[in-house]
């Protein structure tokens, strides 16, 4: 099945049709497999909090019908005539992006996630005007540049969350030179990205402190995820004990919060790395940064190159995600539970087992 001629190809997914965000079966057309395209039969797809924002039009930019899902694992069924990186039968992944301009500085620097003309895996439009659709569907067609090979032996459902949550944590640690063993890191917020942060930082040999607003997740953090310390942000005496001790903090909080308490925990030259999408301005007093030469910075998902490196790193370390596997007919319930943070720590949809094509 190297390069079949197909007149028209359809697939079935689960789509939102309005801002209620309720998903239901939806059949649509896929483009033919172009010279550099890969036709992928979807096996698994992780659920990200961004999926909820998009289907409910929380950002005011949603287009319907919309098939969400950007942590896609599947099997290569067909390859275009110019595809060189992949073969039929391989297990591959597709993350948040399916296109970029290829000419700007970020693209030429292999950090295409910062391209101003990037094309999202869903709720976006290809250059030919057709909408992009995501991974809660039986199949997808993607340019080979935006596909990564899943290492042999890595289970599809385990690999799925790595394509967004995993690389989102790995990328800043890689870029800012924070991969060496022995560093002391903080993870602020213990959701889907936070749990991945703990696991990846521990795999790198870091001393990891989870910082949370309550004691509710203490046992999870220390006993299940392997964090070294647990810090409740409202406990002023414990917070004082940790002042000037951390090399970095990965801040995953997606709502307004004061930065000063966390800046105070950083050593000289420490970095507060923002990852939560917050539409409210954040505040801090400048001496908190100046007197320790501290950095407030941000990071956004990761590049294809970083995703490939991260997958190999996770394979080498025997890394596993903490997930709950569900079928597509449960997806609306899963979205409701995710909104309540009622999941440890990532939902992954068994798309292949959902029998969409029957």
Q: Which residue has the tokens 């540049």?
A: 145
Which pLDDT belongs to residue 4?
44
Which pLDDT belongs to residue 17?
98
* Calpha distance 67→79 (Å, rounded): 23
Element (H, E) at 76: strand 72-79
pTM comes to: 0.92
Which pLDDT belongs to residue 279?
80
* Calpha distance 275→308 (Å, rounded): 21
Nearest CA among 143, 145, 164, 152 for reference residue 50:
164
Which pLDDT belongs to residue 345?
86
Q: Which residue has the tokens 């059949």?
A: 27
Contact 186, 209 (CB under 8 A): yes
Which pLDDT belongs to residue 177?
97
Which pLDDT belongs to residue 320?
83
Which pLDDT belongs to residue 1?
39
Which pLDDT belongs to residue 111?
98
DSSP state for residue 37 in the 8-state scheme: E
* Calpha distance 79→83 (Å, rounded): 6
Task: Convert the pLDDT of each residue in 134-182 to its tens digit.
Answer: 999 999 999 999 999 999 999 999 999 999 999 999 999 999 999 999 9
Which pLDDT belongs to residue 358?
58
Contact 28, 136 (CB under 8 A): no
Which pLDDT belongs to residue 210?
98
Q: What is the rounded (10 degree) CA torsion for 289, 290, 292, 295?
A: 40
For the chain, which residues score pLDDT lower than 50?
A: 1-6
């Amino acid at each position: 099945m190297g390069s079949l001629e197909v007149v028209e190809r359809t697939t079935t997914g689960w789509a939102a049709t309005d801002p209620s965000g309720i998903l239901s079966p939806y059949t649509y057309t896929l483009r033919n497999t172009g010279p550099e395209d890969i036709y992928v039969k979807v096996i698994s797809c992780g659920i990200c909090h961004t999926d909820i924002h998009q289907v409910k039009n929380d950002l005011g930019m949603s287009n319907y019908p919309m098939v969400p899902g950007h942590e896609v694992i599947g099997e290569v069924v067909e390859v275009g005539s110019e595809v060189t990186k992949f073969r039929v039968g391989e297990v591959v992944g597709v993350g948040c992006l399916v296109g970029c301009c290829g000419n700007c500085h970020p693209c030429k620097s292999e950090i295409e996630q910062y391209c101003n003309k990037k094309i999202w895996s869903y709720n976006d439009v290809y250059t030919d005007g057709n909408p992009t659709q995501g991974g809660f569907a039986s199949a997808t067609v993607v340019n080979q540049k935006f596909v990564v090979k899943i290492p042999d032996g890595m289970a599809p459902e385990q690999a799925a969350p790595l394509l967004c949550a995993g690389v989102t944590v790995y990328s800043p640690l890689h870029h800012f030179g924070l991969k060496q063993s022995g560093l002391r890191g903080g993870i602020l917020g213990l959701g889907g990205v936070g749990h991945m942060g703990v696991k990846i930082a521990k795999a790198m040999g870091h001393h990891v402190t989870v910082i949370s607003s309550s004691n509710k997740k203490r046992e999870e953090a220390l006993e299940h995820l392997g964090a070294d310390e647990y810090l409740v942000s409202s406990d002023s005496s414990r917070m004082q004990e940790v002042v000037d001790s951390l090399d970095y903090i990965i801040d995953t909080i997606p709502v307004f919060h004061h930065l000063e308490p966390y800046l105070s925990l950083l050593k000289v030259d420490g970095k507060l790395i923002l990852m939560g999408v917050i539409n409210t301005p954040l505040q801090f007093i400048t001496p908190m940064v100046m007197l320790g030469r501290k950095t407030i910075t941000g990071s956004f998902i990761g590049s294809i190159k970083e995703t490939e490196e991260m997958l190999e790193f996770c394979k080498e370390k025997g890394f596993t995600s903490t997930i709950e596997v569900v079928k597509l007919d449960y997806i609306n319930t899963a979205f409701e539970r995710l909104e309540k943070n009622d999941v440890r720590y990532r939902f992954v949809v068994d798309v292949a087992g959902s029998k969409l094509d029957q």
